[in-house]
Chain A
């Protein structure tokens, strides 16, 4: 079945960087957009942007431009979200989600990766 499995929780200090992975299985990785979504207690779900694994083309939401980088490794069907210059505001759960067949919604979702930033 189609599945997205994310890397485990991370604890980082302010100013550090973190790279979250999202491994896809059960479908052709290069056929579907892969999206990233952030969830914080105070702000609910926020759309961060997406990558098309075939071309590597990315489209970042305005709020996240310049502070996140989305990449992929097609040889291992894995997408990555890198966050740099971390602050406490980056403490959140990060989800990857695939485009649904036909596009314009997100299905399925990964299980989420908790990133905690604390000195």
Chain B
């Protein structure tokens, strides 16, 4: 059960935009529009940021957006702010009625 592949780290300056990729296979991302993204600050539980590829839960800033192409999903953070510095994980539904997380990406705001 291999994890989805994310870059270990991504950085950007205040106000810039960054994109985090999440690569899977035709058994998960490529076959279902059930990709979600979670933000995790140190010592805290993950916080939902995106569900069903591109939808934001109530209360999540519209600076966060999601998309998908083929077997790769992406999370874009625009207008980067200091509080965006955190770990980010993607997740996808996978064949066999299960789910799989990404390897996680540490976002650093310069």
One of A13-21, A75-83, A100-108 contacting the partner: A100-108
Given A44-B89, A61-B1: A105 in contact with B98 (beta carbons within 8 A): no
**Residues of A17-66 contacting chain B, CB below 8 A:** 35, 37, 44-47, 49, 59, 61-63
Asked if A95 and B45 make an inter-chain contact with CB atoms under 8 angstroms apart, the answer reads yes
A110 to B93, alpha carbons, bound, how many Å?
20
Asked if B52 and A105 make an inter-chain contact with CB atoms under 8 angstroms apart, the answer reads yes
A109 to B48, alpha carbons, bound, how many Å?
9
**Chain A contacts of B3 at CB under 8 A?**
44, 46
**Chain B contacts of A111 at CB under 8 A?**
45
Q: Interface size (B, Cβ < 8 Å)? A: 24
Given A100-B48, A107-B57, A110-B45: A47 in contact with B101 (beta carbons within 8 A): yes
Given A61-B98, A95-B46, A112-B45: A104 in contact with B104 (beta carbons within 8 A): no
Given A44-B89, A111-B45: A100 in contact with B101 (beta carbons within 8 A): no
A44 to B90, alpha carbons, bound, how many Å?
11
Asked if A104 and B45 make an inter-chain contact with CB atoms under 8 angstroms apart, the answer reads no
Asked if B48 and A47 make an inter-chain contact with CB atoms under 8 angstroms apart, the answer reads no
Q: Interface size (A, Cβ < 8 Å)? A: 24
Which single residue of chain A is at the shortest CB-CB distance from B89? A45
Which single residue of chain B is at the shortest CB-CB distance from A111? B45
Asked if A45 and B51 make an inter-chain contact with CB atoms under 8 angstroms apart, the answer reads no
Asked if B34 and A45 make an inter-chain contact with CB atoms under 8 angstroms apart, the answer reads no
Given A45-B104, A95-B46, A109-B47, 20 extra CB contacts under 8 A = A44-B102, A45-B46, A45-B91, A47-B91, A47-B100, A47-B101, A61-B1, A63-B1, A95-B45, A100-B57, A104-B32, A104-B36, A105-B36, A106-B46, A106-B48, A107-B51, A107-B57, A108-B48, A110-B45, A111-B45
Top 3 A-B residue pairs of the complex, sorted by shortest distance between their CB atoms: A105-B36, A104-B34, A105-B51
17 A-B Cβ contacts within 8 A?
A44-B101, A45-B91, A45-B104, A47-B98, A61-B98, A97-B46, A102-B51, A102-B52, A104-B36, A105-B48, A105-B51, A106-B46, A107-B57, A109-B45, A109-B46, A109-B47, A109-B48
